[in-house]
Amino acid sequence: MTLQTEATQPAGLESLLSRRARHVGSDPLLQGMDRVGQRISFIFGFPDPASLPADEVASTTADVLRERGRAALQYGDNAGYSGLIDALIAKLARDQGIEAKRDNILITAGGSQALDLLLDALVDWGDTIVSEMPTWLGAVQAFRNVGANIVSIPVDHQGIDVAVLARELGRLRDMGVTPKFIYANANFQNPTGATMSRRRRQELLALARSANTLLIEDDAYFDLRYEGEPLPTIYSLDHDGTVVYMGTLSKTMGPGMRLGWIVGPPELVRRVSALKVDGGTNVFGAHVAADWLPERLLPHVQRLREVYRRRRDLMIAALEQHMPPGSTWTVPDGGFFIWVTLPEEIDTKRMHPQVQELGVEYLPGPACFAEGTGANQLRLSYSFVEDDLIEPGIRVIGEVAAAELREARGAV
Amino acid sequence: MTLQTEATQPAGLESLLSRRARHVGSDPLLQGMDRVGQRISFIFGFPDPASLPADEVASTTADVLRERGRAALQYGDNAGYSGLIDALIAKLARDQGIEAKRDNILITAGGSQALDLLLDALVDWGDTIVSEMPTWLGAVQAFRNVGANIVSIPVDHQGIDVAVLARELGRLRDMGVTPKFIYANANFQNPTGATMSRRRRQELLALARSANTLLIEDDAYFDLRYEGEPLPTIYSLDHDGTVVYMGTLSKTMGPGMRLGWIVGPPELVRRVSALKVDGGTNVFGAHVAADWLPERLLPHVQRLREVYRRRRDLMIAALEQHMPPGSTWTVPDGGFFIWVTLPEEIDTKRMHPQVQELGVEYLPGPACFAEGTGANQLRLSYSFVEDDLIEPGIRVIGEVAAAELREARGAV
């Protein structure tokens, strides 16, 4: 990358960059969004475009600007708009079993900025953190950007492997290393779709506590459960400030609002808030969301659950029909993702260009691993593709995979 | 602070915090915004509430959501919404004499996040940076948060003191230190109101270039010149990628939009964009701004110039009437700020509580200095206070200052 870029950069820029900037991947995670949708895209965790509540947001915005335009267009608190914080407190108590006060909550620019701020507040270059692996590709990139030493813990159908976690925490303890935090998704894990059992949640919390570290519970998909009984958030099981809970409106009201939140110990929230010199988080959007949330969220989420359950079922059916023998995949109770494991001969990164040429795209498994492993795996998002394009898209992936397999097995 | 907070934090949190978080000031910069306006507040650089274009934003939002709600509520490019980038390219060419291409521009959550991102991309803990002093209090806090070693350069009525800057850069060179950047406001400097002469702009650019460092030109108030002829932006004088230009909509369309931008070398913009894992900057607001900007900005700015020129004149008249003998103040050609220097016996931090008790507030000078100097100085913003409250507010400050002076001089 350096060679390729030196041409375009002013003399000496490289030497002025921070470790973070020198270290960062060569490409922004999201680019070319104007063109997204030209392919059958199973690549990103984008919500269904047709379900985005544009009309509701338009009418709510008109009301908000009429009633309190002077506040909605002015600077805001570092901690976020108090009206949105209050709406969240009610939502978290009602849905998540989380009893929070204002000083427990920080409004952020989506879950992405929430994690980014927590990394700024907790991680110095070279510090050790523990994370489920595979995990959200944005987290993998954010961990790298701050120079974290990442200890990876595998995920099975019941969520994070607590046996491996216990072993790794013990190893770190023996080395005299206290990890800054453990990062995990309890619901519909990104990318595996796995939901952590109640027992695992309790064991994970106990392990975090005994390691004297924090547990970052990223629950971006909480509202989108469409099967099985809801399980308690790990935050609601915690009574001593071990858990920092992350949520977002990106999967419900819409990612364009760029609104998420951290729920955690007041002291941590205050420190992060003080680090966040940004004139307030997305004040305009926060005022709109504060008025949309109380009445509109639940009915909207009900509609979304129907859409995504249907798409999950369509994708599962298509996978059964088109994936080559020896392939396996997960069946999530909610969220956006199915995790596919293909026969070992297949390299999902190598075959992706062929699939893209045929107008389809997916996320190759290695993007979800800090170590770049997962060569024969891939993540499929069923959230963004219209019903009648799911089967054709999966068929393309299945056919290319089958061809790869024949070639690899010399049966061409 | 530590003593006071240890009670509320979970055991061991302190040891899990990063240097940034342990180092950060005890209080968020902006809090209690719900109550702002209960006093006659000359404290912050907030725009006039009555001038915020709430109706225009409401109607533009309705159009945007009807025409492209699916994009406005979806994730966006790390670099920002391309439609806003294109609108900015036209505005920068028309108003600022800046010829930029898409890959020169990064959309940010206001100027605050722009500086924050530049610090992440350029500064490692303990790195040296050079800044005008006094300067924007948000910059002072942001510099501290990343552990920068700040070299302060004084500002006179023509802007940054280039003689001192040359001497300091020479000193650093002798020490083998290359500062990561020089930070300056060329127009209506925050807090002094000083505008850099054309000659100074050229000298500053030449000094930055010869020091092989970057010049961050923060031009938040560019559009709000209401006296004197416009001077070329330093960016427009630069031909080798030395200048990184920062701008914002916070002083025109409204801070609640949380939209600003960086214009700089493509390689730097790309690196910063890759560091910025945030799902796109304020996508919803960016779509609205993209449609508001082309037709609405200029007429809106014309109205604002009238409002702020009038308030500046009212404040200057009130200062002449009420400030104790021996006080001096600046007279800005634009922007929001007047910088007052009181007789040396007066401590503006010490007298502030009395002024607040009388329902008025200002920014004590030390907040604008990394070293906490400026004890007998204060910053007044005339932007946020209605015309007929300016004279009463200044009278209070003048009376308290006069009393302080009498006391200090033993004439009680």
Chain A neighbors of B76, CB-CB under 8 A: 30, 33, 255-256
Closest chain A C-alpha to B45 CA, distance in angstroms: 9
Nearest by CB to B17, which of A109, A271, A277?
A271
Beta carbons of B52 and A73 less than 8 Å apart = yes
Beta carbons of B250 and A71 less than 8 Å apart = no
B197 & B106 share domain:
yes
Q: Report CA B112 to chain centroid distance, whole Å.
A: 8
Per-residue pLDDT for B158 more than 90?
yes
Nearest by CB to A279, which of B30, B241, B284?
B30
**Among B280, B297, B314, which residue terminates a domain?**
B297
Per-residue pLDDT for A52 more than 90?
yes
Nearest by CB to A267, which of B13, B110, B112?
B13
Beta carbons of A123 and B5 less than 8 Å apart = no
Handedness of CA B67, B69, B75, B79 (dihedral sign): positive
Q: What is the pLDDT of residue B26?
A: 62
Q: Which amino acid is at B382?
A: Y
Nearest by CB to A250, which of B66, B279, B281?
B279
Nearest by CB to A65, which of B9, B33, B57?
B57
Chain A neighbors of B268, CB-CB under 8 A: 9, 13
Residues A265-274: what's their mean pLDDT? Answer: 92
Strand runs labelled E in B195-276: 214-218, 243-248, 260-263
Closest chain A C-alpha to B258 CA, distance in angstroms: 6
Chain A neighbors of B66, CB-CB under 8 A: 54, 58
**Which tokens belong to B287?**
């779509």
Using CA atoms, how far apart are residues B200 and B383, in angstroms rounded to an integer?
A: 27
Chain A neighbors of B72, CB-CB under 8 A: 54, 256
Q: What is the pLDDT of residue A277?
A: 81
Q: Report if residue A375 sits inside a domain.
A: yes
Using CA atoms, how far apart are residues B355 and B335, in angstroms rounded to an integer?
A: 24
pLDDT, one tens digit per residue, over B10-64 is: 558 888 999 988 888 667 667 777 776 678 999 988 999 999 999 999 999 999 9
Beta carbons of B280 and A258 less than 8 Å apart = yes
Q: What is the pLDDT of residue A217?
A: 98
Closest residue in B to A113 (Cα–Cα): B278
Nearest by CB to B31, which of A10, A77, A110?
A77
Whole-number percent of chain A with pLDDT over 70: 95
pLDDT, one tens digit per residue, over A329-354 is: 999 999 999 999 999 999 999 999 99
A273 & A337 share domain:
no
Beta carbons of A214 and B49 less than 8 Å apart = no
Using CA atoms, how far apart are residues B159 and B191, in angstroms rounded to an integer?
A: 11
Of A168, A127, A169, A131, nearest to A149 (Cα)?
A: A127
Residues A139-154: what's their mean pLDDT? Answer: 95
A47 & A59 share domain:
no
Nearest by CB to B74, which of A53, A58, A256?
A256
Q: What is the pLDDT of residue A24?
A: 81
Q: What is the pLDDT of residue B183?
A: 98
Nearest by CB to A255, which of B15, B74, B285?
B74
Q: Report if residue A79 sits inside a domain.
A: yes
Q: What is the pLDDT of residue A32?
A: 72
Q: How many residue pairs bridge chain A and chain B with CB atoms within 8 Å of each other? A: 350
Chain A neighbors of B36, CB-CB under 8 A: 74
Nearest by CB to A78, which of B18, B31, B272?
B31
Q: What is the pLDDT of residue B297?
A: 97
Closest residue in B to A61 (Cα–Cα): B58
A237 & A292 share domain:
yes
Per-residue pLDDT for A31 more than 90?
no
A48 & A58 share domain:
no
Of B254, B227, B250, B188, nearest to B51 (Cα)?
A: B254
A195 & A82 share domain:
yes
Using CA atoms, how far apart are residues A250 and A255, in angstroms rounded to an integer?
A: 4
**Which tokens belong to B43?**
């404290």
Residues B215-226: what's their mean pLDDT? Answer: 97
Q: Report if residue B182 sits inside a domain.
A: yes
Beta carbons of B20 and A214 less than 8 Å apart = no
Looking at every residue in chain A, the average pLDDT score rounds to 93
A379 & A350 share domain:
yes
Beta carbons of B33 and A5 less than 8 Å apart = no
Beta carbons of B69 and A46 less than 8 Å apart = no
Q: Collapse the DSSP code of A287 into the 3-class scheme (helix H, G, I; strand E, B; otherwise coil) and give the result.
A: helix
CB atoms within 10 A of CB B412: 7
Q: What is the pLDDT of residue A4?
A: 35
Q: Is the preceding omega at residue B191 within 30 degrees of 0, hence cis?
A: yes
DSSP annotation string for A201-249: HHHHHHHHHHTT-EEEEE-TTGGGB-SS-----HHHH-SSS-EEEEEES
Residues A51-80: what's their mean pLDDT? Answer: 94
A166 & A67 share domain:
yes
Report DSSP state, residue B200. H
B247 & B339 share domain:
no
Chain B neighbors of A180, CB-CB under 8 A: 16
pLDDT, one tens digit per residue, over B118-143 is: 999 999 999 999 999 999 999 999 99
CATH number at residue B371: 3.90.1150.10
Closest residue in A to B25 (Cα–Cα): A274
Beta carbons of A279 and B250 less than 8 Å apart = yes
Q: Report if residue A2 sits inside a domain.
A: no
Beta carbons of A122 and B29 less than 8 Å apart = no
A218 & A366 share domain:
no
Q: Report if residue B8 sits inside a domain.
A: no
Closest residue in B to A260 (Cα–Cα): B278
Closest chain A C-alpha to B186 CA, distance in angstroms: 22
Q: Report if residue A288 sits inside a domain.
A: yes
Backbone angles phi, psi at A217, to 5 degrees: -100, 100
DSSP annotation string for B261-305: EEE--HHHHHHHHHH--SSSSSHHHHHHHHHHHHHHHHHHHHHHH
B399, with CB counted inside 10 A (0-12, 13-18, 19+), is middle
**Among A297, A332, A363, which residue terminates a domain?**
A297
User: Whole-model pTM above 0.80?
Assistant: yes
Q: What is the pLDDT of residue B5?
A: 34
Alpha carbon distances (Å) from A15 to A258, B10, B136, B206: 33, 40, 27, 19
Closest residue in A to B258 (Cα–Cα): A282
Beta carbons of B58 and A47 less than 8 Å apart = no
Q: List CB contacts of A270: < 8 A, sequence separation 6 or more.
A: A103, B5, B28
Residues B195-222: what's their mean pLDDT? Answer: 98
Nearest by CB to A278, which of B53, B77, B116?
B116
**Among B234, B266, B297, which residue terminates a domain?**
B297
Closest chain A C-alpha to B350 CA, distance in angstroms: 24
* Long-range contact pairs involving B227-232 (C-beta distance under 8 Å, separation at least 24): B227/B309, B227/B333, B227/B334, B228/B195, B228/B333, B228/B334, B231/B186, B231/B187, B231/B195, B231/B196, B231/B197, B231/B198, B231/B201, B232/B97, B232/B198, B232/B201
A237 & A251 share domain:
yes
pLDDT, one tens digit per residue, over A194-225 is: 999 999 999 999 999 999 999 999 999 999 99
Q: What is the pLDDT of residue A12?
A: 81
B370, with CB counted inside 10 A (0-12, 13-18, 19+), is buried
Looking at every residue in chain B, the average pLDDT score rounds to 93
B326 & B404 share domain:
yes
Q: Collapse the DSSP code of B89 into the 3-class scheme (helix H, G, I; strand E, B; otherwise coil) and give the result.
A: helix
Residues A108-137: what's their mean pLDDT? Answer: 96
Beta carbons of A78 and B284 less than 8 Å apart = no
Using CA atoms, how far apart are residues A89 and B344, in angstroms rounded to an integer?
A: 49
CB A223 within 8 A of CB A301: yes
Domain range enclosing B335:
13-52+303-408
Interface test mutation site (partner B, options A2, A14, A16, A251, max chain B beta carbons within 10 A): A16
CB atoms within 10 A of CB A295: 11
Alpha carbon distances (Å) from A115 to A184, B70, B153: 12, 26, 36
Q: What is the pLDDT of residue A411?
A: 60
Q: Which amino acid is at A209?
A: R
Q: What is the pLDDT of residue B186?
A: 97
Closest residue in A to B140 (Cα–Cα): A277
Q: What is the pLDDT of residue B11?
A: 54
Closest chain A C-alpha to B207 CA, distance in angstroms: 15
Closest residue in A to B72 (Cα–Cα): A256
pLDDT, one tens digit per residue, over A313-330 is: 999 999 999 999 999 999
Q: Report if residue A5 sits inside a domain.
A: no
Per-residue pLDDT for A390 more than 90?
yes
pLDDT, one tens digit per residue, over B162-195 is: 999 999 999 999 999 999 999 999 999 999 999 9
Backbone angles phi, psi at A187, to 5 degrees: -115, 125
pLDDT, one tens digit per residue, over B351-380 is: 999 999 999 999 999 999 999 899 999 999
Nearest by CB to B142, which of A15, A115, A277?
A277
Closest chain B C-alpha to A324 CA, distance in angstroms: 33
Beta carbons of A278 and B61 less than 8 Å apart = no
Beta carbons of B212 and A141 less than 8 Å apart = no
Beta carbons of B279 and A55 less than 8 Å apart = no
- H or E segment at B312? helix B283-322
Q: List CB contacts of A123: < 8 A, sequence separation 6 or more.
A: A129, A146, A147, A148, A180, B18
Interface test mutation site (partner A, options B60, B73, B213, B292, max chain A beta carbons within 10 A): B73
Domains held by chain B: number: 2
Q: Report if residue B19 sits inside a domain.
A: yes
